[in-house]
Amino acid sequence: MLLQLNNLTKSYFGVTVLDHVNFDLKQGEVHAILGQNGAGKSTLVKLISGVEEPDNGEIYLDGNLVRIPSTLEAQRLGISTIYQETALVPNMTIAENIFLGREPKLFGLFTHYSKMKREAKKILKQLGYSFHPTTLVRDLSISEQQTVAIAKAISRQCRIMIMDEPTASLTEQECDRLFRMIETFKSEGVGIIYITHRLKEVQGICDRVTILRDGQHVITREAKGFNEKEIITYIVGKELSHYFPPVPIEVGEELMRVVGLGKRNQFTDIDFTLHEGEILGFAGLADSGGSELANALFGRVRTDEGSIYWRNEKVEFRSPRQAIHHRFGLVDRDRAKAGMFSDMPVSRNLTISGLRRLNKWQFINEQKEQSKALDAVLQLDIKMIDPEQEIKFLSGGNQQKVMFGRWLVADSDLYILNEPTCGIDIGAKSELYVVIHELVQEGKGMIVISSDLSELIGLCTRILVMHEGRIVDQILHEFATEERILSAASGLQS
């Protein structure tokens, strides 16, 4: 046995994310790890690659007990990791990137450039690529960069290779090339840990499959004969929906109608309607086009074709400003980057989008502003010392509530929520669900894009499933199951 993990346990701030997980890897084997977001896959990878150390449990390499306190130690032990986002320096050449930190030396002092180039070229050729090693990495496409990352891993003569969703940004042709590379590694006796959301790949290249759910080991078995339906059942497990408020069934008049909306390479033929008091969910795998659709609806990017009708009137937004004037609101998936003004107080974060509506002229009526902010604080139960506290000092869940509150103050009628509960704890999640529920009861419309299936099922009146930029399934609340959503999102016929 090349690698064996016994009873690995890891918790962050009292939340157990890995609970006595066992795992093993043989030489020349591709072992897939599957599971939903938050199942513990990435934590497991972190423990093996030395980013984190386990709280409990043992790691055996070739039967010897080892500790992996750092990524450097992991590399020394022959463990290489290819991350989802490639860790390359864009302004360096391919060769420099491959040998970063381990440059061959001339007289032990200078970088031996010619040797470095030669070696880099050899490795790239081995992978079936003919880039010039002095090409700058920033001039490569994403998938080519992925190849460089793999070359970097190979150059270290690794024995265990961890691939975290390596095909997420690859075209089909490039995937095939990657799979051929994987075959080569296997024949050389390298053990590969393969993490993916794409179930189709499991049958093609993997020997064994391990499924994790909520930090626990569910099953390990041969990939051969393990069909996708079965895999989905194991990934999903039994349902958890007790903390959701009742789903709105009665809906009002039509708010929004989208006809044939499309944007090249992102989504096509999007048709749907949204009514007052309705929560419409969008499900899909990471790159299925849901986020891009949310941005397009909000005027953040222009669409190529199709039209949007808002209260039966055709609208076309050239900027989010126009969308907000039509009473749209967007809660972005990345609140640090596209939501918060971290140096500003909570109150100002709340009122920033509503200032023009609250004040007739340029002058701000501070009393009115404060009272609007406080209304939102009370309605959302935002926990803080006082409204003048800077938002950066709040917890993630409370920050997210402020992001909701911004549209409350702006009096929005449509809320577009892109991963609204990303990175916040369960308690705060339930509170946000209640907020969503209350808003919907006031007749607002909600569009929720989420990769958390139980959330969509628990919240939404209807769920639209996207796969490769198209809506492939529409599921009413009473028929929604994780199995059905997952198979549609994976592109399987249901």
Partner 1 sequence: MSNAVTELNKTQTKERNWLKYLWEQYSVLFALIVLIIFASILSEHFLSITNITNVLRQVSIVGILSLGMTFVIILGGIDLSVGSVLAMSGTVVMASQVTYSTSIPVSIVLGLMCGLIIGLINGLMVTYGKITAFIATLAMMTIARSIALFYADAGAISGLNSTYAKIGNAYVFGIPIPVIIFVIMVFLSYIVLEKTVYGRHVYAVGGNAQAARLSAISVFRVTIISYMICGFTAAVGSIIETSRLNSISTSTSGNMYELDAIAAVIIGGASLSGGRGRILGTLFGVLILGVLSNTMNLLNISPYLQGVVKGLIIVAAVLLQKRD
Minimum Å gap between C-beta 327 and partner 1 is 11
Interface characters, 355-394, with partner 1 (x: CB under 8 A): xx--x--xxx-x---xx--xx-xx-------xxx------
- Read off the amino acid at residue 337: K
Minimum Å gap between C-beta 333 and partner 1 is 12
Q: Answer for the pair 294, 379: CB distance below 8 angstroms, yes or no.
A: no
Minimum Å gap between C-beta 400 and partner 1 is 14
Asked if residue 332 binds partner 1 (CB under 8 A), the reply is yes
Terminal Cα-to-Cα distance of the chain (whole angstroms): 39
Minimum Å gap between C-beta 192 and partner 1 is 38
Q: Answer for the pair 308, 263: CB distance below 8 angstroms, yes or no.
A: no
Asked if residue 339 binds partner 1 (CB under 8 A), the reply is yes
Closer residue to partner 1 (CB): 213 or 333: 333
Asked if residue 330 binds partner 1 (CB under 8 A), the reply is yes
Asked if residue 404 binds partner 1 (CB under 8 A), the reply is no
Asked if residue 114 binds partner 1 (CB under 8 A), the reply is no
Q: Answer for the pair 58, 7: CB distance below 8 angstroms, yes or no.
A: yes
Q: Which of 93, 147, 268, 353 touches partner 1 (CB under 8 A)?
A: 353
Spatial neighbors of 207 by CB under 8 A, at least 6 apart, are: 29, 30, 31, 222, 223
Count of chain residues binding partner 1 (CB under 8 A)? 38
- Virtual CA dihedral for 372, 374, 380, 385, nearest 10 degrees? 150
Minimum Å gap between C-beta 297 and partner 1 is 13
Distances (CA, A) of 257 to 277, 311, 445: 15, 8, 12
Q: Which of 46, 121, 208, 348 touches partner 1 (CB under 8 A)?
A: 348
Distances (CA, A) of 39 to 86, 161, 288: 22, 21, 21
Spatial neighbors of 109 by CB under 8 A, at least 6 apart, are: none
Minimum Å gap between C-beta 353 and partner 1 is 4
Q: Which of 175, 324, 394, 480 touches partner 1 (CB under 8 A)?
A: 324
- Pairing type for strands 470-476 and 462-467 reads antiparallel
Q: Answer for the pair 400, 364: CB distance below 8 angstroms, yes or no.
A: no
Positions touching partner 1 (CB under 8 A) are 298, 300, 319-321, 324-325, 330, 332, 337-344, 348, 352-353, 355-356, 359, 362-364, 366, 370-371, 374-375, 377-378, 386-388, 406, 410
